Chains A and B, each alone.
Chain A
Amino acid sequence: GENVEQHPSTLSVQEGDSAVIKCTYSDSASNYFPWYKQELGKRPQLIIDIRSNVGEKKDQRIAVTLNKTAKHFSLHITETQPEDSAVYFCAASELPGGYNKLIFGAGTRLAVHP
């Protein structure tokens, strides 16, 4: 069935370092890949997304890359700050057929130390 694997499960970095989180999806039909950030006790917030017709997308310190052949996509955070500390989830879905059925990875707990 549909599956999204996410690594690592925990990531600890020093402030100013880069952080990379990787995901692999199983369903070849997946074509939409959002990333969510969830701070403790809060709702998941969409931080960036990418569709399968592009290989990379950037938004300030955040970037996402997609390798459709390998079914991999990754989140890159540069110049990390303590407020980046949170759990990050990758997800995949098929548009339009899968509509809004997001299959989530297990999450990565990122800790940024001052």
Chain B
Amino acid sequence: KAGVTQTPRYLIKTRGQQVTLSCSPISGHRSVSWYQQTPGQGLQFLFEYFSETQRNKGNFPGRFSGRQFSNSRSEMNVSTLELGDSALYLCASSFGTGKGNEQFFGPGTRLTVL
């Protein structure tokens, strides 16, 4: 079974720009969660989507948004980029139901904001 994939793997943007990251979950998984990983703050939960609905949200500003499509693929968008948004963005997929909540991570997208 193919694992979680993320595109692109690397991105370089400048302050003020916006960016869209994509995540394709494991086949059959309906839940996609997004995390930000930085050396200073560690792994922080951004939000989770299940069946095209945001089901849970972390403590990030409104510049961070996401969506999920009917095939469970998910995108996250960051608008008006700031230097502090430089991080590894990880998505994780799971069944999201009583069938199994184990989350499997993708390889991440490394975003650098200049």
Binding site for B on A (CB under 8 A): 32, 34, 36, 42-46, 49, 89, 91, 93, 95-96, 98-107
Contacts and interface: CB of A to CB of B under 8 A. Distances in A.
B39 to A, nearest CB: 10
Given A43-B107, A101-B48, A32 B56 contact: no
A102 B33 contact: yes
B33 A101 contact: yes
A49 B42 contact: no
10 contacts: A43-B105, A44-B105, A45-B105, A93-B101, A99-B48, A99-B55, A99-B56, A99-B101, A100-B55, A100-B92
Which of the four size classes fits the interface of chain B?
A: 20 to 34
A54 B43 CA distance: 26
Contact of B45 (A42, A46, A95, A103): A103
A34 B35 CA distance: 15
B62 interface: no
Contact of A100 (B42, B43, B44, B94): B94
Contacts of B45: 101-103
Interface of B: 31, 33, 35, 42-45, 48, 50, 55-56, 58, 90, 92, 94, 96, 98, 101-108
B56 to A, nearest CB: 5
A100 B107 contact: no
A30 to B, nearest CB: 13
Contacts of A42: 107
Contacts of A105: 42
B26 to A, nearest CB: 12
A96 to B, nearest CB: 7
Contacts of B48: 99-101
A33 B14 CA distance: 38
A24 B95 CA distance: 27
B90 A44 contact: yes
Of all A-B residue pairs in the complex, the 3 with the closest CB atoms, nearest first, are A104-B43, A43-B105, A101-B56
A101 B107 CA distance: 19
